[in-house]
Amino acid sequence: MSRTVSCVILGEDAEGLDYAPYPGELGQRIYDSVSKQAWQRWLAHQTMLINEYRLTPIEPDARKFLETEMEKFFFGAGSAAPQEYVPPE
């Protein structure tokens, strides 16, 4: 049986994640208040950030940057795309 969360991104009740997708307190906050649909939005945004900034996720600085952007995406003012980013049509 799926669980329901009050999603901070969608602003409504939606199907919750099956497990905490990230370690620590941030992962627990995401598990408690982010829906599967919102998590998929983050994954697409994260992929864009990795590609545009040419990040290597195994590097500690890149991981810290992505963690900071994840927190802003879900619980802050939002994570913005680079100024020069042009979305695909």
Q: How far, CA to CA in Å, does 58 sit from each of 33, 64, 65, 80? A: 27, 10, 12, 22
User: For 4-75, CATH number?
Assistant: 1.10.3880.10
Query: What pLDDT shows up at residue 22?
Result: 94
Query: In this structure, what are the phi and psi dihedrals at residue 14, rounded to the nearest 5 degrees?
Result: -150, 170
Q: Mean pLDDT in the chain?
A: 92
Domain residue spans in the chain? 4-75
Contact between 4 and 17 under an 8 Å Cβ cutoff? The reply is no
Q: Is the pLDDT of residue 64 over 80?
A: yes
Look at the alpha carbons of 32, 68, 49, 74 in this order and tell me if their dihedral is positive or negative: positive
What digits encode the pLDDT tens for the residues 3-41? 999 999 999 999 999 999 999 999 999 999 999 999 999
DSSP state of 77: S
